[in-house]
Amino acid sequence: MARKTKAEAALTRDRIVTCARQVFSREGVTNTSLETVAKEAGVTRGAVYWHFRDKADLFMAVRQQTGTLLRFDDFRTGDALERLEAGLQAALDRLRTDRQALETYEVMLWKCEYVGAFASVRKDLMSASSLFLTEVTEFYGEAVRMKLASADLDPALAARETLCFYAGLLKLWLADENGVTVRAEVRQLITQHVARRRLQKAV
Amino acid sequence: MARKTKAEAALTRDRIVTCARQVFSREGVTNTSLETVAKEAGVTRGAVYWHFRDKADLFMAVRQQTGTLLRFDDFRTGDALERLEAGLQAALDRLRTDRQALETYEVMLWKCEYVGAFASVRKDLMSASSLFLTEVTEFYGEAVRMKLASADLDPALAARETLCFYAGLLKLWLADENGVTVRAEVRQLITQHVARRRLQKAV
DNA sequence: AGATTTACATACAGACATGTATGTAAATCT
DNA sequence: AGATTTACATACATGTCTGTATGTAAATCT
């Protein structure tokens, strides 16, 4: 077949990744055949196997294309607890407004089996959790030092609770299609969660 | 083949369910073939198809065999917050001590794609979440009435936060094989989560 | 300008899973 | 005791997916 320009090839690759995400989210990772992805992208499996080693590799590309939801570095203003809340709110905001992010995370949390080649992805997720813990522990440490939070707040333990809260919130938010469980009140939920750690400000 | 007694047949069915759970947890639901399950159980696919319509049906049986983790009704002593905590602790205790429960929940949370015939299972899980909300909202309502918690604690909102916490805790606990993220401190985590809702008892 | 890659499409070979149809001997029913 | 189910095992028919091998015309390199 006629060889494509490097730029065209990059576009093809990107189309494959985008379509893979959509098919994954419709049919689940294990059930999607590379044939389906290829057709959706207007190419053949030849193109898919040219750009990616196998389905697991393609899955990694889907994750990378979307990137990470939570980026506390984006928030530099306000006290530690305000920055923590801003980061969490922004993550959930992105799910609400960015369809790509929504699809990717729905695949990761509800439509993927972490087995075989995908077991390593689960370890990745746990590494991300460890990073989360480090960052949030830092926030709580600062909050205690600045007297925003009670002196007997254990930063590491509180961070773990926040991690659980966040993980569960993501998972439930994605599944809560009619909004009755958590979707309608995400904002308040996050605000309240952080506020509960603040001194003298029971909610 | 020689017909089995009703009792023998029931044993066969149970063996199939047990083996299905193990294979699911090893290979993921989508990747397990009924042939593998059958072999593991010492029968042929004929037996599997006799007892179950298809893989989804078998999956339901696996869930039913294990039952539900969280049963607040088991705890009748203590105040509302104590009963809530006892329920949560018991659920995580069961994961720790009951291998069957552990396998089932690992399958449900990490090794199953909620797509196609399994989409309805996700709705089941969300229904269970609604029930959780009802029960926990009741606990918090009682806590407020009994002055265990601040009067401006919103029971419904607090219950949603607890739901997120619990969902995330389960998921992370199951993935945290080396215990660094949450497994080592589950007990404290739960205690702290509930305690934070109690008046005058910051942790 | 010629040599070499590249970016795919096409073709091939094999494995594997599913659902159903059929067979059968013993358990259960009447 | 005979008729009927039952609890499977066996056999069949079919579809689907994977990975690789090969072909090819145009980009890119020198």
Residues spanned by the domain of B33: 6-65
- How confident is the prediction for chain B on average, in pLDDT? 96
Residue type, B179: G
Beta strands in chain B (DSSP E): none
Which of B97, B64, B90, B67 lies closest to B187 in space, CA to CA?
B90
Residue type, A198: R
Which of A23, A50, A65 terminates a domain? The answer is A65
Query: Based on the domain organization, do B124 and B148 belong to the same domain?
Result: yes
Cβ separation of A182 and B164 shorter than 8 Å?
Answer: yes
Query: Based on the domain organization, do A107 and A16 belong to the same domain?
Result: no
Counted domains in chain B: 2
B24 lies within 8 A of chain A by CB? no
pLDDT at A200 (0 to 100): 62
Nucleotide nearest to B4 (CA to C1'): D7
Query: Based on the domain organization, do A107 and A45 belong to the same domain?
Result: no
CA distance A178 to chain B (A): 11
Mean pLDDT (whole number) for A4-10 = 94
Contacts of A193 in chain B (CB under 8 A): 161
Query: Based on the domain organization, do B92 and B60 belong to the same domain?
Result: no
Is residue B44's beta carbon less than 7 angstroms from any atom in nucleic acid strand C?
A: no
Query: Based on the domain organization, do B137 and B56 belong to the same domain?
Result: no
Query: Based on the domain organization, do B16 and B30 belong to the same domain?
Result: yes
Task: Give nucleotides in strand C with any atom < 7 A to a protein C-beta.
Answer: 5-11, 16-28
**A-proximal residues of B, 84-143, CB under 8 Å:** 110-116, 122, 125-126, 129-130, 133
Query: Based on the domain organization, do A125 and A179 belong to the same domain?
Result: yes
Identify whether A103 is part of a domain. yes
Mean pLDDT (whole number) for A26-44 = 98
Query: Based on the domain organization, do B91 and B148 belong to the same domain?
Result: yes
Identify whether A75 is part of a domain. yes
Q: What is the 3-state secondary structure (H, E, C) of chain A?
A: CCCCCHHHHHHHHHHHHHHHHHHHHHHCCCCCCHHHHHHHHCCCHHHHHHHCCCHHHHHHHHHHHHCCCCCHHHCCCCCHHHHHHHHHHHHHHHHHHCHHHHHHHHHHHHCCCCCHHHHHHHHHHHHHHHHHHHHHHHHHHHHHHCCCCCCCCCHHHHHHHHHHHHHHHHHHHHHCCCCCCCHHHHHHHHHHHHHCCCCCCCC
Identify whether A200 is part of a domain. no
Query: Based on the domain organization, do B55 and B76 belong to the same domain?
Result: no
Q: Which of B113, B173, B197 to mutate to test the interface with A (most CBs of A within 10 A)?
A: B113
CA distance B76 to chain A (A): 26
pLDDT at B69 (0 to 100): 97
**A-proximal residues of B, 163-192, CB under 8 Å:** 163-169, 171-172, 175-176, 180-182, 185, 188-189, 192
pLDDT at B50 (0 to 100): 98
Q: Output the domain CATH number for residue A143.
A: 1.10.357.10
CA distance B86 to B78: 9
pLDDT at B199 (0 to 100): 84
CA distance A109 to chain B (A): 8
Identify whether B203 is part of a domain. no
Nucleotide nearest to A41 (CA to C1'): C8
CA distance A20 to A34: 8
Residue whose tokens read 């407004």: A97
Cβ separation of A192 and B126 shorter than 8 Å?
Answer: no
Identify whether B201 is part of a domain. no
Closest residue on chain A to B25 (Cα): A115
Which of A48, A65, A82 terminates a domain? The answer is A65
Give tens-digit pLDDT for A144-190.
999 999 999 999 999 999 999 999 999 999 999 999 999 999 999 99
Cα angle A73-A77-A83, degrees, rounded to a multiple of 5:
60
Query: Based on the domain organization, do A35 and A108 belong to the same domain?
Result: no
A29 lies within 8 A of chain B by CB? yes
Query: Based on the domain organization, do A59 and A116 belong to the same domain?
Result: no
A151 lies within 8 A of chain B by CB? no
Identify whether A203 is part of a domain. no
pLDDT at A201 (0 to 100): 42
Q: Output the domain CATH number for residue B41.
A: 1.10.10.60
Give tens-digit pLDDT for B148-192.
999 999 999 999 999 999 999 999 999 999 999 999 999 999 999
Nearest residue (Cα to C1') for C24? B1
Which of B65, B96, B114 terminates a domain? The answer is B65
Identify whether B157 is part of a domain. yes
Contact (Cβ atoms closer than 8 angstroms) between residue A67 and residue A105: no
A203 lies within 8 A of chain B by CB? yes
Query: Based on the domain organization, do A105 and A163 belong to the same domain?
Result: yes
* Cβ within 8 Å of residue B45, ≥6 positions away: B34, B35, B38
Identify whether B57 is part of a domain. yes
